[in-house]
Amino acid sequence: MTFNWRSHRPRSLLSAALENRQLYQAREEIEKFKFFLSLMWQGFEAYFSGLHPFEVRLKLAKTITNRCWRSS
């Protein structure tokens, strides 16, 4: 298949910027979801390893605090 130069229209700068913004937002949402899943996994591991519920909450709070410090 050959490239048809007549039908090819270059994207405007605005539409390219909008697309990049949407991609960036999608990546942010994926990162948030991955963090949420890792947090749940850590909670399950801590809970089923026999830690006291307070220790589980403390471990998760440390993870969230570290994440907030890194992202700011």
* Cα gap 60→64, rounded to integer Å: 6
Any idea where the domains of the chain sit in the sequence? Answer: 13-71
Angle at 22 between CA 38 and CA 12, to 5 degrees: 160
Reported pTM = 0.62
1 pLDDT above the threshold of 60: no
CB 59 within 8 A of CB 34: no
Please write the tens of the pLDDT for every residue from 8-66.
666 677 787 888 888 999 999 999 999 999 989 988 888 889 888 888 888 888 888 88
* Cα gap 70→72, rounded to integer Å: 6
* Cα gap 37→60, rounded to integer Å: 12
